[in-house]
Structure 1
């Protein structure tokens, strides 16, 4: 006879260790940056690692929700202002940066708002993503320039999440897919399961590391009202790694002519890098889908499930 587990179920991995309300954020911001005292503070977005507020209709402030996010916040403060001038799309540039204090034990920062809607929220059809894809390809080509890594990458860690390792990512994707099946939002696809099984024998791509966004998916590309790229946000995983880490978006976010436009804008992608990017596309899409299904985000769930389908498409 199996004894049922005692006590409450474990908290989901995205559960916050510290939540900042709009009222608390207003006090912390006013205390560290008096020029913003009295400015209205509105909730803007919530992710796994950060809570985001719009301040005075102009500034976006990010507060960590979990201790694991703190090194990423520190990297954002250190590196984004150095790489922003070299990139063809806007990225956040910290204008206000606060270190730990008695009132809040972790660093936080604010940057001028980049207007736009998340790709996942806007949800354009695959046929409407071609121009956007070409912009993303050109952006990644600039970001992955070895010269930029030489100039600004010296303090960055090397792929701390092992996202360029297809064997590691395949193993971490299987439990996500199991969860999607239990949640009733996905049925096992033999092609996906077979691809992940084969990925268990793959090695990371060969080549020198470059600066990568580190977590580039459909929530982190912003669109303007015309459906063009408006900016790239949420750089908490910025690091040095193989370009496959960012190229996952080519396979999770785009298909057909749009993907071809992205790769034309980016440049050649060797087979080992493509395979690693497809594995990570499955991993990120499954992770987003699990979170969306568990937290009632229907639009994101639809986009993330579509990403699983795109990941192995030709």
Structure 2
């Protein structure tokens, strides 16, 4: 006879360690930045690592939800102002930055809002070709070795091991198991075989560059015409192989759209492509698990589509 587990079930890994309410955010912002005192504060978005508020209809403030996110917040404050003027699409740039205090134990910051909607909300039928070319050109500029030499000092090297296909394949399998248990995905022999083969792969060759580090369909913003409006959420910015960001080419785009992205970006060696496809599966499975567990139907549909795109030609 199996003894049932005692006590409450373990908290999901995305559970906050420090939840900031709207009232608390308003007080923290007013206390550190008096010029914003009295400005309306509205909830804007919630992710695994940050709670985001819109202040005065103009400024977006990011508060860490988990201690693991704090180094990323510090990197955003340090690096984004240096690289933002160099990139062909808008990215957040801290205008207000606050260190830890008695009122809030971690740093937080605010920058001008980048209007737009997530690529995850575009729907599977949207034409992504023009958007893909813009993303490819953006990544080509971001991955310029000169930018890494001039603005990458002090950044860690791939701290999440996202360019290592063996590591990412191993971490994807439990995500897929969870999707099966949740009843939202059926095992695909092609996916399982690809991940088994990836377990023997080494990280791709090439010098590290500045990467966004977590580039997926929630972090590319679109305008009302479906063109790129910006790239957000840079908490995983680091130095790494370009494959880390190229995952979005395989999770977010397929067919003519992917070809447009890669044409704008430039040649991708086979070992880099393979690592990008593994990470595309990993990120898509992770987003799908979170979406299925938290009732985000639109994101779930997009993330499951990303699993399908990842291995498409």
> What range is the shorter-chain TM-score in?
over 0.9
What is the TM-score normalised by the length of structure 2? Answer: 0.99
The CA deviation string for residues 161-212 of structure 1, in whole angstroms up to 9 with x for no partner, is 0000000000000000000000000000000000000000000001100000
Distance between the aligned counterparts of 2:296 and 2:122, measured in 1? Answer: 13
Once the two structures are TM-superposed, the CA of residue 124 in structure 1 deviates from its matched residue by 5.1
Distance between the aligned counterparts of 1:86 and 1:296, measured in 2? Answer: 38
Once the two structures are TM-superposed, the CA of residue 94 in structure 1 deviates from its matched residue by 0.2
Distance between the aligned counterparts of 2:95 and 2:10, measured in 1? Answer: 38
The CA deviation string for residues 214-238 of structure 1, in whole angstroms up to 9 with x for no partner, is 0000000000000000000000000
Distance between the aligned counterparts of 1:104 and 1:47, measured in 2? Answer: 19
Distance between the aligned counterparts of 1:221 and 1:19, measured in 2? Answer: 25
Distance between the aligned counterparts of 1:18 and 1:56, measured in 2? Answer: 24
CA, structure 1 residues 178+124, in 2 after alignment: closer, same or farther (shift >3 Å)?
closer
* Alignment match, 2:165: 166
* Alignment match, 2:142: 143
Secondary structure of 1:5 counterpart: coil
* Alignment match, 1:81: 81
The CA deviation string for residues 249-301 of structure 1, in whole angstroms up to 9 with x for no partner, is 00000000000000000000000000000000000000000000000000000
Question: In 2, are the aligned partners of 1:181 and 1:187 still within 8 Å (CA)?
Answer: yes
Aligned residues: CA RMSD: 0.4
What is the TM-score normalised by the length of structure 1? Answer: 0.99
The runs of at least 4 aligned residues of structure 1 exceeding 6 Å deviation read: none
The CA deviation string for residues 16-42 of structure 1, in whole angstroms up to 9 with x for no partner, is 000001100000000000000000000
Residue ranges of structure 2 left out of the alignment (5+ in a row): none
The range that moved more, 40-49 or 116-125, is: 116-125
Where does 1:58-77 land on structure 2 (aligned, <5 Å)?
Answer: 58-77=58-77
Once the two structures are TM-superposed, the CA of residue 2 in structure 1 deviates from its matched residue by 1.4
Distance between the aligned counterparts of 2:84 and 2:69, measured in 1? Answer: 21
Secondary structure of 2:110 counterpart: strand
Question: In 2, are the aligned partners of 1:96 and 1:111 still within 8 Å (CA)?
Answer: yes
Once the two structures are TM-superposed, the CA of residue 141 in structure 1 deviates from its matched residue by 0.1
Secondary structure of 1:236 counterpart: coil
Question: In 2, are the aligned partners of 1:50 and 1:66 still within 8 Å (CA)?
Answer: yes
Once the two structures are TM-superposed, the CA of residue 3 in structure 1 deviates from its matched residue by 1.1
Once the two structures are TM-superposed, the CA of residue 121 in structure 1 deviates from its matched residue by 1.5
Once the two structures are TM-superposed, the CA of residue 123 in structure 1 deviates from its matched residue by 2.2
Distance between the aligned counterparts of 1:304 and 1:103, measured in 2? Answer: 37
Secondary structure of 1:97 counterpart: strand
Residues paired across the two proteins, number:
312
* Alignment match, 1:259: 258
Where does 1:20-31 land on structure 2 (aligned, <5 Å)?
Answer: 20-31=20-31
Question: In 2, are the aligned partners of 1:124 and 1:227 still within 8 Å (CA)?
Answer: no
Once the two structures are TM-superposed, the CA of residue 122 in structure 1 deviates from its matched residue by 2.4
Distance between the aligned counterparts of 2:102 and 2:122, measured in 1? Answer: 40
Distance between the aligned counterparts of 1:84 and 1:45, measured in 2? Answer: 22
Question: In 1, are the aligned partners of 2:143 and 2:211 still within 8 Å (CA)?
Answer: yes
Question: In 1, are the aligned partners of 2:124 and 2:302 still within 8 Å (CA)?
Answer: no
Distance between the aligned counterparts of 2:297 and 2:200, measured in 1? Answer: 35
The CA deviation string for residues 119-139 of structure 1, in whole angstroms up to 9 with x for no partner, is 0012252xx000000000000
Distance between the aligned counterparts of 2:107 and 2:81, measured in 1? Answer: 17
